[in-house]
Chain A
Amino acid sequence: MERNMTMIALFAALIAALGLIPSLTLAFGVPITAQSMGVMLAGAILGAKRGALAVLLFMALVALGLPLLAGGRGGLGTFVAPTSGFFLGWPVAAFVIGLIVERWQSGPLGVTVTLASVIGGILVMYGFGIVGMSIALKKTLAECAMLVTAFLPGDLLKAVLTGAITQALARSRPASILSRH
């Protein structure tokens, strides 16, 4: 109980910290927000339920008015912006990623996590994001889907990195991969 709770709280804090480190440049010199990678990691490491709870806890703190999103954003405005769909899709993304990693125990961890991150962190999250954009911008789903393809390369990279990081963590802290216990 205590361990589950501290793990959930620490992953919520990790998502926040990944948004606050300004100098973190992922690749090609383009500053990509590492925050959605934190969501992928939460699902991959904590598993479906705990991963989703960690993300929900983080979102609650953003709603309370803490500037925890990348670029110091936060507050209630986060829920009515054109990109809010993505934000609202975060807990579902973490849940789906966790579920896939939990269910596919036999697969090699790095590959499983990468695939799970593509399905949960891209397919599911983009689904939410596209619906949100189409409501805010009054455009059709297909038109909004075209707009978000710009983020695809960055997110694919994050999925691969999530796989690599989870595999490295499994080697150095095997007991901490709760999704595989």
Chain B
Amino acid sequence: MISLTSPVETWAHRIPAGAKLLALSGLTLGLFLTNRPEVLAASLLAIAALYRSAGTIFLRQGAGHLRMLWPFLLLIAVWHGLTGQIQAGLAIAFRLLAALALANFVTMTTRLTDMIAVLTMLLAPLRRIGLSTRAVELAIAMVLRFTPMLVENGNRLAMSWRARSRRRPNWRIVMPMAALALDDADHVAEALRARGGILPDTDNTRD
């Protein structure tokens, strides 16, 4: 499955994922603590420079990810334009853009494997108190495997719908899709049990 990591290899790809996530948390908190538009505008410019340092293609990709904000920016513009609180409106708009751009920057420059490594590290305390994190790791792998399979099932159901009806496929597809998913869940559960289950203390779970 394709992740949102940018295929453009940048210097930020080489920074450890944990450090990036820590910096992101701190900086995002900072963005929400200030209300001064000039500070927020400067932060936004700094983030733009950060994107720019990774190249024009990367900058354009990053800007594309911010498109989802336009209805909110429009709303802020109209609202604060009517009430005349321009300063406050600018602060909100800059903060929205900066917070989203910063979070996206970390996502775009961190590989899925590095993110999973951080997650495993965060789960380590659970292992120390005796809980198994194997189930979590296995569940993540299962979702990654099953999502394309379910999409495939959905597309096939949509095709067979179109073969029999002139109308477009609608919500009725969700029912057979869920039924097929439930059947698959049963089969996979049986297969797992036949191979010794998911608990690590069973003998035959060694790989």
For residue A145, CB closer than 8 A to chain B, the reply is no
> Closest B-chain residue to A76, C-beta based?
B103
Cβ of B149: which chain A residues have Cβ within 8 Å of it?
13
Instruction: Take A67-B3, A169-B178 as given contacts and tell me if A60 and B140 are in contact as well, using a CB distance cutoff of 8 Å.
Output: yes
Q: Which of B7-15, B38-46, B49-57, B64-72 contacts A (4 or more CB under 8 A)?
A: B64-72
Number of A-B contacts (CB under 8 A): 193
> Closest A-chain residue to B109, C-beta based?
A65
| Contact A77 B158, beta carbon cutoff 8 Å | no
A residues 1-44 with Cβ under 8 Å of B? 1-3, 5-14, 16-18, 20-21, 23-27, 34, 37, 41
For residue A68, CB closer than 8 A to chain B, the reply is yes
Interface residues as binary, B64-106 with A (CB distance below 8 Å gives 1, 0 otherwise): 0100110010011001000000001001100110011011101
Cβ of A78: which chain B residues have Cβ within 8 Å of it?
103
| Contact B119 A21, beta carbon cutoff 8 Å | no
For residue A168, CB closer than 8 A to chain B, the reply is yes
Cβ of B79: which chain A residues have Cβ within 8 Å of it?
139
| Contact B184 A10, beta carbon cutoff 8 Å | yes
* Chain A interface extent, by class: 35 or more
| Contact A9 B139, beta carbon cutoff 8 Å | yes
Rounded to whole angstroms, the CA-CA distance of A3 and B182 in the bound complex is 10
Q: Which of A79-87, A95-103, A112-120, A122-130 contacts B (4 or more CB under 8 A)?
A: A79-87
For residue B121, CB closer than 8 A to chain A, the reply is no
| Interface set of A (CB-CB < 8 Å, partner B) | 1-3, 5-14, 16-18, 20-21, 23-27, 34, 37, 41, 45, 57-58, 60-61, 63-68, 71, 73-82, 135-139, 147, 161, 165, 168-169, 172-173, 176
